[in-house]
Structure 1
Amino acid sequence: MKKVLIITQHFYPEIGSHANRMKHLYMLLKKKNLDVTILTTEPSYPNKKIYINGDFWDEDLLNKDTDHIRRISIKNRKYSNSIFNRLMYYLEIAFKFALLIMKDKHNFDYIFVTSPPIFTGFVGLFAKFKYRCKMILDVRDLWPESLKGVGVFNHVFIIKGFEILEKLLYKKADKIVINSLGFEEHIKKIAGVQDLLFIPNGSIKEELAPLTEKKGKTKKIIYAGNLGLAQNTELIDQLVPFLEDEGIKLTIIGYGVHKKQLIESIKDHKNVTIINPLTKKECFKIIADHDLGLVTLKDKEVFKTVLPGKIIDYMTCGVPIVGIVDGYAKDVINNEEIGLAINEHEPKLILEHIKKLLDDDALRSEMSHKAQQVILSEFNWEININKLVEYIK
C-alpha cells in the first residue's frame, strides 16, 4: 500500500476552500486504499475561538482518526493586515513542520504539499529529501503574484527573491497539481513544466442541495466567504444602498481582514443580514435559500487566473451567480451559463444585472440545474481524485 504524507497549513474543521480541499483529498485518497497521513496545524482560521463550538467538528471519522492526523500548535497571531505578522506566522508553521519531519521515523512514498504559502511548499521539498520520495506540489494560487495583486507587499527585490524560490519549487516537484486552468500558462512559462494535473476545487454528490422552484418577489442574494485582501469589499459597500432602494435583501456570511470595516460601513442599512462563520453544511443550507450568489474580486491581472471557492459553493447549492470577476472565473460562469459575470465595477450597472436575473424565474431555474450538472461533470471530487490516484499508483 502506497504511503502518502499531506502537508497543509489548513485542514478540517477549519472553514475556507483551502481546508475544504485538503479534507476532500484526505478522505477520498483513504477510500482509494492509500495509507495517508496529514501534517497540519491546530484549527485557527479565521480565529481559534470559533472551534470551541463542537458543531464545527462534524465528521466522526476524522475526529477519531488521531493516528493519521498530526497537528502542531501555533503561538503567532495570524489574522492581521500586517504583512510582517503574516510572514512570522508562516515561518513559525514552516519551522515546526520541518522540526517534526526531522524527528519522524516513518517512511513515505509520496509527499503531497499545498502552496501558498510558499514556505509550506519548501517544507515539502525538505520532506522529499528526508524521506527520499517523490513530491507532488499542489498550487492553489500563484505566489508571489498574489502578494502583488493585493497591493500590501511590493518590495521589488524581495518579490524577485520569492519569484526565484517559486521557480525552484516548481522545478523540484515531481508532479504539479493545479486547481485552476488559469495557472497553466504561468507555470509552464517560468518553469518549463509541461505535464500538469488539473484537479479543481469541487464537491461530492451528497453535498448537492435539493433544488426548489424559487418564484415570486423574494429578492434575496448572498455573499458567502472571505472578505479579505483579494475581494472587492469596497464594491459591496457601494452596492448595498442601491440594493436597498430596490428592496433587495443581502445576506453576508463572511470572515476576513475587511469584515469589520465592511460591517461598520453598512450597519445602518436595513436590507443587510450579517451571519458569523458557520459549518459547511449549515452554510450550504442558507445559500440554497437565496436567489443569487455574489462574488467579487479586485481588478488585478493575477486574479484573472483564479476560480474563487464560493463559485463552487453557489453551484453546489444550485444558486445562479452574479460575478464581478474577469478571466477564468468569468469564462466559467458565462460559458457554462450558470449566471452572469462582468468585469464592471460600477454599482448601477451591476444592479441592472442582478435585477435582470431576479425578474426571470425561468432563467434562474435553468441556471440552477445547469450549475449542479457542471458540478457533477466537471467539479466532482469523486471523479477528479482518480487523476491523482492513477499517478500515485
Structure 2
Amino acid sequence: MKKLMIVTSYFPPEIGAASNRIYHLAEGLKNDYEVTVVTPLPNYPTGKIFADYKKKFSLKTEENGITINRLWIYASVSKNKFLRLIAMLSYSFSLIWFFLWHKIPDKVIVQSPPLLVAFTCMFFLRSKGRKLILNVSDLWPSAGLELGALKEGFFYKILKKLEAFNYKKADLILGQSNEILTHVKSVTTKPELFLYRNFPEIETPNLVENKSPKGKIKMVYAGLLGVAQGIHKLCKELDYNVIEFHIYGSGAEEKAIKNLIDSNKDLHLFFHGRVNRDELHKVLLTYDLTIIPLLNRIYGSVPSKIFEYAKLGLPMLYFGGGEGETVIEQNKLGWVAKESDYDDVNSVLRTIRPKDLNLDLKTAIQNTARLQFDFNKQLGALKKTL
C-alpha cells in the first residue's frame, strides 16, 4: 500500500477545528494509504502538555489504523511573542530531527499555519520526487494583522516571505475557502489548487422539536474562547430580554466570562465549561439557535462550525463577515448580522421568533448538509487529485 505522511501542529486529543479537520482527513485516507501523522505532544489550547503525555520526549502509537508520532514541544499559549516563537521553533527542531532519522514517504500533507512549522517542512522535504501538499486553513500573516496580533514591520515582512516560499514549493494546495485560493493565485500560479472545506464526518441525528421557556430563544456558543471569537465582548453586548445564552468551551477568555457571570447574576448567561465532542453534539440538539462570531472579519476564514452545525440541523446566526456569510445565505442555514455591529446582532435576534426555529427549519438545514456538505464525496475528489 502507498504511504502518506501528515504533518500538523494540532491533533486529537486536542480540541478545535484544525485538530478535527486533520483527524478526519487521516481517517478518510487510511483505506488508500498507510497514513503516518507527525504532531506535537498534545498541549492545545491550555499551553501545557496533557497529563497523560507529561515527562515524555516523544511517543509513537497506533490508533485506529493510523501511526501517530508525537514529538517534543516547548508548549505555550503566552501572549508574549518571544515565547510563542520559542514554542514554534521547538517543534520545528523536533521535526528536523524526525526527518533526519526517518524515511519520509513520497506524499506529504503539511498543515499551515503555523507558518514557521510549514516552512520547516517545505524547506527540508522539498525534492523532485516528492509531492508536497499544503493544507492552508488560514491566511497568515494577513489574518494576524486583521486580528491585531501582528503589526506591519520587519517581522511581518519575514512572515510574508515564508508564506510565499511555502506556496511556491507546494505541488498542491488545499484551501478551505475560495478566498484562500484566490489569495494563493495572487502569490504564485505554480501549485494545483483544490477547495477542501472542513466538512465533518459525523452521523446526522434524529431531530425533535424544542420548546423554549417564556418565549426566549435558547442560544448557544460552543468552541474556543479566544481573542478571535470575542465571546466576552459578545456576552456584554447581547440583549437578554429575548434570549438566554449558553457557552461551552475553554480558552483565553474563560476566566473573564466566568467573572462577568459572577458579577451579573441577573443575566440569563450560563457557562458550562468544556465537554467532549460526542457529548457536545447531543447537548447542542437541545438548543434553538447557535451563534458563530468573529471579533473582526478575517479574510479567507470560513468557520468549520457552519458545516458541523448544519449536519446537526442547528439554525445559525452568523456574525463574522466574509465568505461565511455567503455560505449561510446561499444554503439558507439561518441569519446573518453585520460584522462587528452588536446593535445589528440584537436587531436580528429580535426578529427571530421561537416558532421560527421549528422542526421544519432544522430538517431543511440537515437535508441541505447531506447534499452540499458531503465529506465522502469531497474526499473522493481529493483522492483523485492526490
| CA distance in 2 between partners of 1:151 and 1:3 (Å) | 40
Q: 1:181, 1:305 within 8 Å by CA — same for their partners in 2?
A: yes
Amino acid at match of 2:302: L
1:57 maps to what in 2?
Answer: none
Correspondence list, 1:373-384, <5 A: 373-384=367-378
2:195 maps to what in 1?
Answer: 198
* Paired residue secondary structure (2:183): helix
2:176 to 174, 179, 182: 179
CA gap 1:271/1:51 in 2 versus in 1, 3 angstroms: farther
1:150 maps to what in 2?
Answer: 147
Matched, 1:71 2:66: no
2:33 maps to what in 1?
Answer: 34
**By how many angstroms is 1:336 displaced?**
1.1
2:57 maps to what in 1?
Answer: none
1:210 to 194, 197, 206: 206
1:259 maps to what in 2?
Answer: 254
* Paired residue secondary structure (1:360): helix
CA gap 1:149/1:172 in 2 versus in 1, 3 angstroms: same
| CA distance in 2 between partners of 1:150 and 1:38 (Å) | 30
1:58 maps to what in 2?
Answer: none
**By how many angstroms is 1:345 displaced?**
3.7
* Paired residue secondary structure (2:126): helix
CA gap 1:346/1:51 in 2 versus in 1, 3 angstroms: same
CA gap 1:276/1:49 in 2 versus in 1, 3 angstroms: farther
2:121 to 115, 119, 124: 124
**By how many angstroms is 1:262 displaced?**
2.8
| CA distance in 2 between partners of 1:53 and 1:273 (Å) | 30
Q: 1:111, 1:124 within 8 Å by CA — same for their partners in 2?
A: no
TM-score (norm 1): 0.88
| CA distance in 1 between partners of 2:325 and 2:178 (Å) | 13
Matched, 1:387 2:386: no
- Give me the identity figure in percent: 27
Matched, 1:324 2:319: yes
Q: 1:178, 1:197 within 8 Å by CA — same for their partners in 2?
A: yes
* Paired residue secondary structure (1:305): coil
CA gap 1:128/1:18 in 2 versus in 1, 3 angstroms: same
| CA distance in 2 between partners of 1:358 and 1:235 (Å) | 24
| CA distance in 1 between partners of 2:49 and 2:38 (Å) | 21
Q: 1:107, 1:131 within 8 Å by CA — same for their partners in 2?
A: no
| CA distance in 2 between partners of 1:329 and 1:140 (Å) | 14
**By how many angstroms is 1:53 displaced?**
8.5
CA gap 1:319/1:53 in 2 versus in 1, 3 angstroms: farther
CA gap 1:82/1:311 in 2 versus in 1, 3 angstroms: farther
CA gap 1:280/1:234 in 2 versus in 1, 3 angstroms: closer
| CA distance in 2 between partners of 1:38 and 1:344 (Å) | 37
Moved more, 345-354 or 10-19: 345-354
**By how many angstroms is 1:310 displaced?**
2.3
1:369 maps to what in 2?
Answer: 363
Correspondence list, 1:91-106, <5 A: 91-104=89-102, 106=103
| CA distance in 1 between partners of 2:190 and 2:365 (Å) | 32
| CA distance in 2 between partners of 1:132 and 1:7 (Å) | 18
| CA distance in 2 between partners of 1:26 and 1:131 (Å) | 24
Question: Which whole-Å deviations, capped at 9, do the CAs of 1:94-115 have from their partners, x for residues lacking one?
Answer: 11111111111x2412010010
Q: 2:168, 2:191 within 8 Å by CA — same for their partners in 1?
A: no
Amino acid at match of 2:33: L
Q: Which runs of 5+ in 2 are unaligned?
A: 54-60
TM-score (norm 2): 0.89
**By how many angstroms is 1:199 displaced?**
1.1
Q: 2:6, 2:36 within 8 Å by CA — same for their partners in 1?
A: yes
CA gap 1:63/1:141 in 2 versus in 1, 3 angstroms: same
1:350 maps to what in 2?
Answer: 345
Q: 1:202, 1:375 within 8 Å by CA — same for their partners in 2?
A: no
2:307 maps to what in 1?
Answer: 312
| Higher helix fraction (1 or 2) | 1
| CA distance in 1 between partners of 2:128 and 2:51 (Å) | 35
